[in-house]
Chain A
Amino acid sequence: MSESAVAQAATAAADPAAGDPLLQVDDLKVHFPVTEGLLKRQVGTIKAVDGVSFKLARGETFSLVGESGCGKSTTALAVLRMQTVTAGRILFEGVDVTHHSAARMRPIRRRMQMVYQDPFGSLNPRMKVSAIIGEPLVIHGLAGDREAHRARIRELMALVGLLPDMADRYPHEFSGGQRQRIGIARSLALDPSLLVCDEPVSALDVSIQAQVVNLMMDLQRRLGLTYLFIAHDLSVVRHISNRVAVMYLGRIVEIADRDVLFNAPKHPYTEALLAAVPVANPEIEANRAQQIIKGEVPSVRNPPSGCHFHPRCVHAMPRCRVESPALRPRDDGRLIACHLYD
């Protein structure tokens, strides 16, 4: 195999969405000004998302993982155009939506929906379940006549495993798992192609988490959905994802297929993150080599120079302090931003 063919194969593996991606994010930046005093003088910038690029193939689950505050939720909100984008490009179904007005976004919002973390806060306590699930249809004027609307709501409820007689109840009468099902049914009402799931199971009991994750995987198979899955629970991510991107302080440090990433993490931060997951067997847990990350997550307001991870990295070199590593493809198909692998 020629060298270029290897490189091509590598990019294809790292980038299965190369042909016709559903969603393409190029060098996305979301910066927030830090202001002080009465005159709102800008004294700094929080680079919540700082140059993030990825692509989602149709039908896949792409996970963004990282510690709190690494910018994964902000990225998700920017993709939905719920957050002002500072720079970069967002292409959805081949259309650049980065600078669409609210009116031009309206038809596009039908194709991208969000599933929320908090199943208690994301449902209006004063609306009946049927009204909540049917709401997207009403908003987009697709409710049709009464009978068709009710039938569609029943269909959606059946799809997520809710009983039809629950339609006239209020959200507070349901458990967390059921409420999350209501939220998922609502997000499916408009037949979207992309679901942005912001920690959809982290507020649920562990036993319920599995049910909801399996429901989501089942729905993906049946409806051909694409998931942008935001999470910090790595076991859930491993279960549901096709590909995983690891974020640290607003940047992606590694993107790889799920098995590649979980079996052989390469970026020092990914390694440390995976090592932090406890093993269920206490004997293995006691004896396995623990790689504990030194120090605290630095402030986003004042991130370290060069590679953001260098102050905590066991492999840090002088170069890491000055030069920020680019996200580059490796021959095993993954993308890594680390000077160790340059």
Chain B
Amino acid sequence: MTDTALPGTIPTATTRPLIAGADHPIVAFCGRLLREKPLGAIGGVIFVVFLFCGLFADVLAPYAANETNMAARLQAPSLSHWLGTDHLGRDLLSRVLIGAQLSMMVGFLAAGLATVVSIVLGLLSGYLGGKVDMAIQRVVDAWMIFPDLLLLIVVVSIVGSGMPQIVIVLGLLYGIGGSRIVRGGVLTVRETMYTHAAQSMGARTLYILWYHILPNVMPVVIVLFTTRVGAAILAEAGLSFLGLGVPPPAPTWGGMLSGDGRTYMYMAPWLAIAPGVCLTLVVFSVNIFGDALRDLLDPRMRGSR
């Protein structure tokens, strides 16, 4: 957690930036990502491409996602339908793109909620300690007994399927589990001398949490967020595959795999291949990107592969 250079070393001053503005921390960080973790950089690029597709799916999609065309059913990939069509003649490329939008929304919203929950619980539990910590941690213990998917299925079967409940349940699930990791980081930062200094100056608890603890557990939080995006996308696909996810006709990747994909697997294999490949690529890329971030943000890993 300490970003310290050894005495006598001149940090980064020896490698002068070639481009103007290259000494900006974010630019410098991207440079390090490319140099030290090329695979992670590839993962990052793939993920950004999917993010871009999701954001602009409405513009990019050549057809409306639910526009049927009975004359062009189960067509193989062609120039007019790059990824082919399904049994109702819907354009698969458009559906995969809109599906990316749904997946990204679920992924980011659930991971975002999870991160907020993790931060709040982790900060309170780790910084306040004592009885507060005890109480929060026992609740977390109890919560973590339940398998994720089981809890999801129970909730969805009670309140019905739909994106808001999936996001909330996934967010709470990952958030409560992840609070352990944030708490661990907080415990380290809480004992640092700069935290002690702020306390001795008379800083209030909220001030210390916001200006000293949170910035120094951010590396942990960033990694937590990226891995949870992938996990949430996969969980949503799993639910949709089981018919408990975002209800049809919304084009979700999981739904495409279980519906047409399975039924017409031998006649039209592209129906399963397209969403399957997308799902694999997104989750794979976000995970290796998250791994690379974790390694790069850990000062102990500086300079090593």
Query: Which are the 8 A-B pairs with shortest beta-carbon distances?
Result: A109-B202, A125-B3, A122-B193, A121-B193, A124-B194, A126-B215, A106-B202, A139-B203
Asked if B157 lies at the interface with its beta carbon under 8 angstroms from chain A, I say: no
Q: A109 CA to B2 CA in the complex, in Å?
A: 27
B2 partner residues in chain A, CB cutoff 8 A: 120-121, 125
Q: Is the CB of B197 within 8 A of A139?
A: no
Asked if B7 lies at the interface with its beta carbon under 8 angstroms from chain A, I say: yes
10 new A-B pairs (CB below 8 Å) besides A116-B193, A121-B2? A109-B200, A110-B202, A114-B197, A114-B200, A120-B4, A122-B194, A124-B216, A125-B3, A125-B216, A140-B202
A171 partner residues in chain B, CB cutoff 8 A: 4
B56 partner residues in chain A, CB cutoff 8 A: none
Asked if B35 lies at the interface with its beta carbon under 8 angstroms from chain A, I say: no
Q: A263 CA to B42 CA in the complex, in Å?
A: 71
Asked if B146 lies at the interface with its beta carbon under 8 angstroms from chain A, I say: no
Q: Is the CB of B193 within 8 A of A126?
A: no
B193 partner residues in chain A, CB cutoff 8 A: 116, 118, 121-122
Q: Is the CB of A105 within 8 A of B196?
A: no
- Closest residue of chain B to A198 (Cβ to Cβ) is B193
Which residues of A are interface residues toward B (Cβ below 8 A)?
A: 80, 82, 105-107, 109-110, 113-114, 116, 118, 120-127, 135-136, 139-140, 170-173, 175-176, 183, 186, 190
B202 partner residues in chain A, CB cutoff 8 A: 105-107, 109-110, 139-140
Interface residues of B in 145-200 (CB under 8 A from A): 192-194, 196-200
Q: A123 CA to B202 CA in the complex, in Å?
A: 16
Chain B interface size band reads 20 to 34
B142 partner residues in chain A, CB cutoff 8 A: none
Partner of B7, one of A109, A113, A175: A175
Q: A170 CA to B212 CA in the complex, in Å?
A: 14
Partner of B3, one of A136, A172, A176: A172
Interface residues of B in 191-233 (CB under 8 A from A): 192-194, 196-204, 207, 211-212, 215-216
14 A–B contacts from the bound complex (CB under 8 Å): A82-B196, A105-B202, A107-B202, A113-B200, A114-B197, A116-B196, A118-B193, A121-B193, A124-B194, A139-B201, A139-B207, A140-B201, A172-B4, A190-B201
Q: A190 CA to B200 CA in the complex, in Å?
A: 13
Known contacts: A118-B193, A126-B215. The answer to whether A176 contacts B201 by CB under 8 A is no
- Closest residue of chain A to B13 (Cβ to Cβ) is A173
Kindly provide the distance from the CB of B216 to the nearest chain A CB, expressed in whole angstroms.
Answer: 6
Q: How many residue pairs, one in A and one in B, have C-beta atoms under 8 Å apart? A: 71
Which residues of B are interface residues toward A (Cβ below 8 A)?
A: 1-5, 7-8, 11, 192-194, 196-204, 207, 211-212, 215-216
Q: Is the CB of A123 within 8 A of B194?
A: yes
Q: Is the CB of B200 within 8 A of A124?
A: no
Kindly provide the distance from the CB of A124 to the nearest chain B CB, expressed in whole angstroms.
Answer: 4
A120 partner residues in chain B, CB cutoff 8 A: 2, 4
Partner of B200, one of A80, A127, A172, A175: A80
- Closest residue of chain A to B218 (Cβ to Cβ) is A126
Most buried by B among A80, A106, A126, A183: A126
- Closest residue of chain B to A117 (Cβ to Cβ) is B193
Kindly provide the distance from the CB of B9 to the nearest chain A CB, expressed in whole angstroms.
Answer: 9
Q: A118 CA to B4 CA in the complex, in Å?
A: 12
Most buried by A among B1, B4, B5, B193: B193
A106 partner residues in chain B, CB cutoff 8 A: 202
Kindly provide the distance from the CB of B32 to the nearest chain A CB, expressed in whole angstroms.
Answer: 16
Q: A122 CA to B4 CA in the complex, in Å?
A: 12
Q: Is the CB of A121 within 8 A of B198?
A: no
A109 partner residues in chain B, CB cutoff 8 A: 200-202
- Closest residue of chain A to B10 (Cβ to Cβ) is A173
A176 partner residues in chain B, CB cutoff 8 A: 7
Q: A135 CA to B204 CA in the complex, in Å?
A: 12
Q: A135 CA to B202 CA in the complex, in Å?
A: 11
Q: A302 CA to B269 CA in the complex, in Å?
A: 78
Known contacts: A109-B200, A110-B202. The answer to whether A121 contacts B216 by CB under 8 A is no
